[in-house]
Structure formats: structure tokens, C-alpha cells
């Protein structure tokens, strides 16, 4: 599970990216958003949830409990690193990765300051949704009606602070002009706001 960690000077917190099915830490969309978060003073970690061998078994790609377990392992390592120790942690999940992020955030003792889902499948977190404590932002494309409906249903099961943002004209991968910029702007604002809320006396 190789990872790419970037921590700007005086970072407000670190966002761990959880990619979706068929993707990896090299996802151009996630790397674009990560760059925007770095410019906003946020640290980022992109890593692979599965080994190349494990990815051959498609069942692993949709095993949310397995993926969440890998995320919890990497989160513990982030908390141990000198450059990130003590920083608030957030999750940015895409597609099935959003379900893994929510599942992991619901784990007792795993303090997560904020979650952002991009075109996610939060419904796949199932009963874990009600146990999520972190403020959660669900970003969906306006031209992705099935996922919009699934996110609205998941929102009804969330008890933590949450909000849905629909990006007009965007499809599932947010490939339309300006769509990914909107995702990055909303994510940056959400993380900065909630990281500052848990670190009122931070740098």
C-alpha cells in the first residue's frame, strides 16, 4: 500500500483520499483535487487500498469492510508520522471509496474531523451511516440521477452534520468543464472549516 503524502507548511490538517473501484492513487481526478487542497494549506495522502494481486479479484474492489480496514490501518500510520502527528484527519472518498470512508469513520475511537464524498456510494456503508460522527459533505453531479437518489437516501440515515451539493451539468466522473473545480472548491471549504473548528488555537 504505497502512498504519496504532501504536507504544506503550517497545514491545518491532512486529508486521506479513498479511491473508488477501478481506480488507484494515480487517479487524475483525485490528484487534481489533492493539489487544490494543498494550495489551500491542507495536507493530503493518496494511497492504494489493494495490492495489484488483490485487484485481480473484483470482489475485493467492492468489499467495503476490507477497504475500510485498510483505511483504518493507514489512518493509524498517519497519526504516527512526525509531520502529521496531532493534525486533524479528514477523508475524501470517491465512488465505493466514499462508503469505505464512512464505514471507517464510524469505527469507535477513530476521530475524523470531516468527510467529503465525490460521486460516492455512501449507501454501501449500510447501517454504519447512523454511527458516523464526522461532518459529511456529499457532492454529486446533476446529470447523475441514480447516484443523486442514492446519496439523498444515505443522507436520511446520517445523524452527523451533513449536506448535499449538486454540481449542475456534471456527470458521474465530473469531466465537464469546471465540474472538478467546483468539487475542489467545495471540498476545500468543508475541510478548512471543520479542521479549524477542532483546532481553534492551531497555527
Q: Averaged over 49-76, what is the pLDDT?
A: 79
Q: Is the dihedral of CA 19, 20, 21, 23 positive or negative?
A: negative
Distance CA 154, CA 84 (A): 31
- Per-residue pLDDT tens for 103-141? 999 999 999 999 999 999 999 999 999 999 999 999 999
pLDDT of residue 71: 95
Task: From residue 71, give the alpha-carbon distance in Å to each of 90, 175, 185.
Answer: 12, 26, 24
pLDDT of residue 164: 98
Q: Averaged over 60-73, what is the pLDDT?
A: 87
* Bridge-based pairing state of the strands 114-118 and 14-18: unpaired
pLDDT of residue 119: 94
pLDDT of residue 202: 41
Distance CA 96, CA 79 (A): 24
- Per-residue pLDDT tens for 5-58? 999 999 999 999 998 655 555 578 889 999 999 999 999 999 988 766 666 666
Confidence of residue 203 (pLDDT cuts 50, 70, 90): very low
Which triple of cell numbers denotes residue 60? 475485493
Distance CA 195, CA 203 (A): 12
pTM of the model: 0.92
pLDDT of residue 81: 92
pLDDT > 70: percent of the chain: 87
- Per-residue pLDDT tens for 165-196? 999 999 998 999 999 999 999 999 999 999 99
Radius of gyration of the chain (CA): 15
Q: Averaged over 52-69, what is the pLDDT?
A: 75
Which triple of cell numbers denotes residue 98? 466514499
Q: With 60 as the cut, is the pLDDT of residue 67 above it?
A: yes
Task: From residue 74, give the alpha-carbon distance in Å to each of 10, 41, 63.
Answer: 22, 21, 17
Distance CA 122, CA 126 (A): 8
Amino acid at each position: 500500500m504505497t502512498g504519496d503524502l504532501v504536507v504544506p507548511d503550517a497545514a491545518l490538517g491532512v486529508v486521506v483520499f479513498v479511491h473508488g473501484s477501478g481506480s488507484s492513487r494515480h487517479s487524475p481526478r483525485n490528484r487534481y483535487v489533492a493539489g487544490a487542497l494543498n494550495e489551500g494549506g491542507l495536507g493530503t495522502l493518496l494511497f492504494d487500498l489493494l495490492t495489484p494481486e488483490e485487484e485481480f479479484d473484483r470482489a475485493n474492489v467492492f468489499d467495503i469492510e476490507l477497504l475500510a480496514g485498510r483505511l483504518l490501518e493507514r489512518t493509524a500510520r498517519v497519526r504516527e508520522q512526525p509531520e502529521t502527528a496531532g493534525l486533524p484527519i479528514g477523508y475524501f472518498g470517491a465512488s465505493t471509496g466514499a462508503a469505505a470512508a464512512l464505514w471507517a469513520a464510524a469505527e469507535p475511537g477513530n476521530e475524523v474531523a470531516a468527510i467529503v464524498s465525490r460521486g460516492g456510494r455512501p449507501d454501501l456503508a449500510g447501517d454504519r451511516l447512523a454511527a458516523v460522527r464526522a461532518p459529511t459533505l456529499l457532492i454529486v453531479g446533476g446529470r447523475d440521477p441514480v447516484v443523486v437518489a442514492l446519496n439523498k437516501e444515505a443522507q436520511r440515515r446520517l445523524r452527523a452534520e451533513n449536506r448535499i451539493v449538486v454540481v449542475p451539468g456534471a456527470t458521474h466522473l465530473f469531466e465537464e468543464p469546471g465540474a472538478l473545480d467546483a468539487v475542489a472548491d467545495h471540498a476545500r471549504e468543508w475541510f478548512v472549516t471543520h479542521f479549524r473548528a477542532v483546532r481553534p488555537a492551531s497555527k
